[in-house]
Structure formats: C-alpha cells, structure tokens
Amino acid sequence: MNNTTNLGEKIVGMFNDVPLNEKEKELFVNRAKEINKLTNISRFMQKSIYGIAGETGCGKTTLFNMLKFSEDIKILIITITEKESKEIIIADILYNLCILIIAEKKFKNVHSLAEKVLMFLKEEEIRSKERGLKIGKILEGESKWTKISKKRFSLSTIKNGLKEIITAITKENKIVLCIDEIDKERKEDAIVILDSIKDIFKCEKLSCLIALPSIMYAQYLENRDKLFSEANLENILKDILPINKMNDNEINEVLTKRTKSFPQVLPQEVKQIVIDFADGNPREALLLCQNSMLSKKIQNGYKKEDFILSSNEIKQEMGKFLWARVNRLNFSQREKEFLEAIYENDIILKTDLINSKLPKIPTSTINKIIKKFLANKVLEETEPDIYKINRKVQLFYRYIGF
C-alpha cells in the first residue's frame, strides 16, 4: 500500500464509528461520571443486574471497553450476534462466554467444561441443519432448506449450561459480565430475554451489566410500581443507568479530538452544521462527516487538502437522510405551512400556536396537527402544553426545505 493510499485511509478513518478501547482514551469525551459509577457497581455489587440504557451510537460499548480494575476482578464482554429467537440469543450468550473462557488462562480449570458446552452447541446446530435438509428434500426435492433451517436448542438445557459455566468461573474470581447488543432488541423482547436468565445472573461474585434500548429507562421510571405485560422490570434489574445525549460542546470536542492531526478538514461553519445534525449523538456526527468525505470526487494523486469538507457537501449528504425522514412523515400542505412558520422556535407554547392562527389555520386543524406531530415525534411535549420541535425536522427546514 503506497503512502498516498495510507494518507487517504488515515483522513477518512478519523471519522470511523467504532467503539473506543483503552488505547484510545485521548478520544474519550465526557463519560467520566458514568465510568466511575459502573466501576463502583462492578467492584462492590454482586448478585445484581444493572441496565445501561441509551440510544444507539451514544457510547455504551465504549463504556464497557473502558472499565478496568486493579483488584482481582475479571471483566468479560459478550457481544450478541445471533438474534433469531429468545433461545438463540441465550445460546449465543453461552457460546460467546465459552469462547472467552477458553481464551483466558485465568480460567484454565474451566476450559474442559467450556469446550464440552461448545461441542454440544455445535452438534445441536449440525443436527438442526440436517433435520432442515431432510424436510426440505421431502417437500421440495432439493436441499435449499439448509439456508433457512433454524437452530433448535432446548431452553432448559441452555440455561443449565449457562448456570454451570457461571458457577464454575465465579468460584475463585469476582466476575463482571457485560452483555452488549441486546439494546438492538425491541423493549418487550429484551424484557422477556432478561426475565428468562435473571436467576442465573443473580449469583455470588457476579455483577452483570446489560446494554438496553433507551426507551426502557423512561418506561422504568414511569412503571416502578407497575407490571409490564411480560415481566416486572424492577424484579429483573437492580437499577438502570441512563447514558444521556451529549451537549453541543461535547460533540464539538469529539470532532476536535478526531481531527487533531488535520483540523482544516472541518472548517468551523461546517463543524457547526455537523453538530446541529448530531443532536447529541456522536455516531451521527461521525457518520455524516465520513459519508460526506466518501461522496467526494477525489482524483489520483490527491493531497490532504482535497479532503476538506465544504458546507454544500455536508448539506448535500445531510439532505439525503433528512429527505428520507421527512418524506416518511407524509406532511400535508397545511402541515408544511405550519412547520415552516414555527421551525425556528426552540420552545413553542400551545397557547401561542392557537392564538396566532398559524398561518391562518383554524384552531381545530392546529389541534389535529399537534396531535399527529406528537404521535410521530415531530414535536416533543417537554412540559404540559410546551413543545420542542424535532431537531432533524428543524434542520430540514433550516438547510434543505421543500
């Protein structure tokens, strides 16, 4: 690979959206309080499950990667990859846990047990595919069913294996078990999964941290004394730690640290547009910058100056996302007029909307529009009859428009 290619990869790579690890601490921004609390939970709590709730891209995986302990505590991070069913997810947790154990010398006394469990899981997968193949041949006369056959594990067998493994590794070590990517499941599915394995994880010398969908924190606060239809969340989790959005200054710091070796790539006016678009989510900022850069027409023999982003390039890339978002909402002409009149307001009072007749829209129509916008999250009711407009919609009118 020549030096020119290396240069291009380095510049575009400044905006790679991957979780940070301990070696990249210099890029870490404003999660010290969360790290401190998670560290103390891990050190001093056992027989407990804590949720880490935040929207995708807010940095939950990075928090897991940054946890380090001086005491005799071992941290294991499991990333769920198989998500076809509750049984498959729990089997995937067990599978990945066994892989981590076999790779860790500290657990050499448990290696044979982990290898035995792995062998069972692999044999079950093969038998399941063979069953799918046989049924496919009978019904279709060919073997194409092998591509869609499902793993068929007994839930009780998987849970027993998981319990056996966890009991073995906690005999001599305090374990912090972090489970990532369960936050990609729907809230209801995540609750069902956690309810199935809660008793296994609530054991001596084990602290469990689980990444959860952001909606679960709000639901958790609203339903402390109520039952979800699937399970009582309070009976599953000790508590939920919210990972909140970053503010604009923190997103600015993320971008400044990322572009330290070549700050000219993001002129200040361009950076401000990126910050507006991110709306507190660092992943949104990084993806917008990288996609804008990848959309450039960069000739052979390029120089690093060829990667400098302009306002038009950022707006064009941002517009692709915003158009898709706004078009899905199917605004009527009246609704477009309504938004055009209010989009510059950060805080909007319902009384102001009604009294102003924006723009000459009957009160009954305004009430219908408000109801629809609240349902579609175009407006958020921050306090009774006080609204905040969705930032992505606001940006559409500010930079793109119909």
pLDDT tens-digit readout, 296-349: 999 888 999 999 999 999 999 999 989 988 888 889 988 988 888 888 888 889
Mean pLDDT of 91-107: 93
Q: Tell me the backbone φ, ψ of residue 254, rounded to 5 degrees.
A: -60, -50
| Contact by Cβ (8 Å): 54, 244 | yes
Mean pLDDT of 273-298: 94
The pLDDT > 90 percentage for the chain reads 44
pLDDT given at position 196: 86
Report the range of poorest mean pLDDT among 55-64, 228-237, 247-256, 393-402: 228-237
pLDDT given at position 149: 44
* 177 has a pLDDT exceeding 90: yes
Mean pLDDT of 26-36: 89
pLDDT tens digits, one per residue of 158-168? 899 999 999 99
Strands 379-383 and 386-389 come out as antiparallel
pLDDT given at position 82: 79
The separation between CA 401 and the C-alpha centre of its own chain, rounded to angstroms, equals 29
pLDDT tens digits, one per residue of 210-236? 998 887 777 777 655 554 444 467 678
pLDDT given at position 340: 86
* 185 has a pLDDT exceeding 70: no
pLDDT given at position 286: 96
Compare 42 and 146 and report the one with higher pLDDT: 42
Strands 48-53 and 73-79 come out as unpaired
The CATH number of 31-242 is which of 3.40.50.300, 3.30.470.10, 3.40.640.10, 3.40.50.2300?
Answer: 3.40.50.300
User: Distance of CA 39 to CAs 31, 75, 97, 217, 384, Å?
Assistant: 12, 11, 21, 20, 38
**Please, what is the average pLDDT of the chain?**
85
Alpha-carbon distance 123 to 49, whole Å?
Answer: 31
pLDDT given at position 222: 67
pLDDT confidence band for 21 (50 / 70 / 90): confident
pLDDT tens digits, one per residue of 110-133? 999 999 999 988 887 655 554 444
Give the chain's length: 402
31-242 and 248-400 share one CATH topology? no
The topology under which CATH files domain 248-400 is Arc Repressor Mutant, subunit A (1.10.10)
pLDDT confidence band for 148 (50 / 70 / 90): very low
Mean pLDDT of 186-194: 78
Compare 145 and 320 and report the one with higher pLDDT: 320
| Contact by Cβ (8 Å): 132, 148 | yes
Q: Where are the domains of the chain?
A: 31-242, 248-400
pLDDT given at position 139: 46
pLDDT confidence band for 247 (50 / 70 / 90): very high
Q: Which residues contact 283 (CB under 8 A, 6 or more apart)?
A: 17, 56, 57, 58
